[in-house]
Amino acid sequence: MGFPLLSLIILTPATGAAVLIFLRSDDAVRWTALGVTLVDLALTVVLLAGFDTATHEMQFTEARPWVPALGITYALGVDGISALFVFLTALLGSVSVLASWVAIERRVKAFMISLLAMQALMLGVFTALDLFLFYVCWEAMLIPMYLIIGVWGGEGRVYAALKFFLYTLAGSLLFLVGVVVLYFQGGETFDMLVLMQQDLPFGVQSWLFFAFLVAFAVKVPMVPVHTWLPDAHVQAPTAGSIILAGVLLKMGAYGFLRFSLPMLPEATLYYSTLMLAISALAIVYGGFLALAQDDLKKLVAYSSISHMGFVTLGIFALNARGLEGSILQMFNHGITTGALFLFVGLIYERTHTRSIAEYGGLMKVAPVYTAFLALFTLSSMALPGTNAFVGELLVLSGAFGANLAFGAVAILGATLSAAYLLGMYRKVALGPVRVRAGPTLRDVNAREMAAILPLAAFVLWVGLYPKPFLDIIDTSVTHLLVEVQSRGRSQ
């Protein structure tokens, strides 16, 4: 066991949160939070720099006994499937702090503590190699997120927070029973690497598959358990939306990749068509819902449902292109949708409205803002040259390889996204100046640019040169696929 880099990555925001308790002034709180997230970001860059793309094995592993009587360990590690998410979490952590710099006016300290606690727990989810540890982090995230939505959210925040909490809790609790069943079926261990090697009977796999599906589907969210998402997104403060869309939604898909596929390969193969169907449904249904929205935030929220449909479509295509595409697409979605929520937040801070009908001609008033908005809008609809193009193309080609019909439906969804995104951009940016604040509206300032620029850089980097990102994913995905195909069919 070498240098505990992963522990350090998790403990940095956790310690930061503890330090914030003792600070008095709001500005000190803001700067400290920013500093902590930047240090954490730097650490994840170190992690990626030291990441060995040639192996599918877990790297930077650590293990210490935690509850030996039950075989629970504090075990961490990353492979190609989780490495990018660790980085994404840290990146969006810094962006969230910047995004809430002035947007959060009351109880700044408590907010930043929640934000940092959230970050530590999300990093814990992506690095845990012990099922119990994974579950603890997964579930504990509910507390800070509940507070972020419920205390600092919009008008209907209390209802939205409660709905978010109960949906995810109900899903997770079934997952918990699944975890305990898996513990006994897998020879009384919570070690995920050991559990991935178990060949469980098909009947058990089926039950576990659906127990896990409930939890993961709520987080993704898949249709029909998606209804908490628009409420949560609309009411959450900007930073909350960024974290929700950027990282939290990835956890469900990550759960499929980490648990359903390797641990329940036979059930995964058996139910893959069903999952493809639900994914295709989500793509189209989310697209139509987005088309009908007048509220900017709701539009982005529903588009997330559609985009996450692509992710699950790629996963259950169960071929290399589909899987790689969906992991890359998760990363892309985190960047792009995180940015879009940031943009919604920026304009809302200035005009105090999110109704698309009240905007218009923003390009004349805030040219820099609209230029970047154009970039992220194009990225969201997967224009060639942007990040989402690469991901979506891979997913679609994977989907066509798996099932022609669902591939065709997904294409329809992609067209829909062009319709609602271009429509939104036209109404907001072009035409006569209709915006409430009128010509006095400020364009983005330096601090806001600091949050926007790195996201924009990733949009273009992944779009133009995706190789380094795909390299990280590639080996692990290939290995995962071989495992699923061989162990799933051999029984």
Partner 1 sequence: MSAAVLYQWVLASLPEIVVVTGACILLILGQLIRRGQEHLIVWASVAVVLIAALATFLLAGEVRPAYSGMFIVDRFAVFFKFVFYLATVLTFLLSRKYADIEGIGISEYYVLLLFSLSGMMIMASATDLLSIYVGLELMVLCTYVLTGFLRRERRSNEAALKYVILGAVSTGMFLYGVSLVYGLTGTTALDGMAAAVTGGRRDPALLLAVVFVVAGLVFKIGAVPFHMWLPDVYEGAPTTVTAFMSVAPKAAGFAVILRVFLNPLVAASDVWIIVAAIGVVTMALGSFAALVQDNFKRLLAYSSIAHAGFVILGVVAGGPAGIASVMLYLLIYAFMTLGIFAVVVMMRNGDFSGEAIPDYAGFAKSHPGLAFLMLLFLFSLAGIPPTAGFFAKFYVLVALVEQGFVALAVVAVLLSAVAAYFYIRVVMVIYMREPERSFDPALTPSVRATLALTAAGTIGIGLFPAWFLRLAQTSVFGG
Give me the least distance between CB of 55 and partner 1, in Å please: 32
Structure tokens at 12: 């940095």
Return d(Cα 331, Cα 466) in angstroms, integer. 12
Return d(Cα 87, Cα 44) in angstroms, integer. 5
Return d(Cα 25, Cα 64) in angstroms, integer. 38
Q: What are 130's strand-pairing partners? A: 191
Give me the least distance between CB of 247 and partner 1, in Å please: 19
Reported as half-sphere exposure (CB side, CA atoms, 13 A), residue 401 has a value of 17
Give me the least distance between CB of 168 and partner 1, in Å please: 10
Return d(Cα 489, Cα 17) in angstroms, integer. 48
Give me the least distance between CB of 199 and partner 1, in Å please: 20
Measuring CA to CA, how many Å separate 176 from each of 22, 135, 142, 179, 270? 36, 7, 15, 5, 23
Return d(Cα 445, Cα 400) in angstroms, integer. 44
Give me the least distance between CB of 166 and partner 1, in Å please: 6
Compute φ and ψ for 103, nearest 5 degrees: -65, -35
Give me the least distance between CB of 165 and partner 1, in Å please: 6
Residue 222 is classified by DSSP as P
Terminus-to-terminus CA distance in the chain, angstroms? 36
Give me the least distance between CB of 205 and partner 1, in Å please: 14
Query: Which residues have C-beta within 8 Å of that of residue 216, sequence separation ≥ 6?
Result: 171, 175, 251, 252, 253, 255, 256, 260
Give me the least distance between CB of 150 and partner 1, in Å please: 5
Do 38 and 94 form a contact (C-beta atoms < 8 A)?
yes
Chain residues that interact with partner 1, rule: CB under 8 A:
65-70, 107, 110, 135-136, 139-140, 142-143, 146-147, 150-151, 157-158, 161-162, 165-166, 169-170, 173-174, 176-177, 180-181, 183-184
Return d(Cα 76, Cα 91) in angstroms, integer. 20
Query: Which residues have C-beta within 8 Å of that of residue 396, sequence separation ≥ 6?
Result: 325, 407, 410, 411, 414
Return d(Cα 435, Cα 426) in angstroms, integer. 13
Give me the least distance between CB of 181 and partner 1, in Å please: 6
Do 205 and 217 form a contact (C-beta atoms < 8 A)?
no
Burial class of residue 326 in the structure, from the number of CB atoms within 10 Å of its CB (0-12 exposed, 13-18 middle, 19+ buried): buried
Give me the least distance between CB of 143 and partner 1, in Å please: 6
Return d(Cα 222, Cα 448) in angstroms, integer. 32
Give whichever of 46 and 151 is closer to partner 1, judged by the CB atom.
151
Do 365 and 122 form a contact (C-beta atoms < 8 A)?
no
Give me the least distance between CB of 411 and partner 1, in Å please: 39
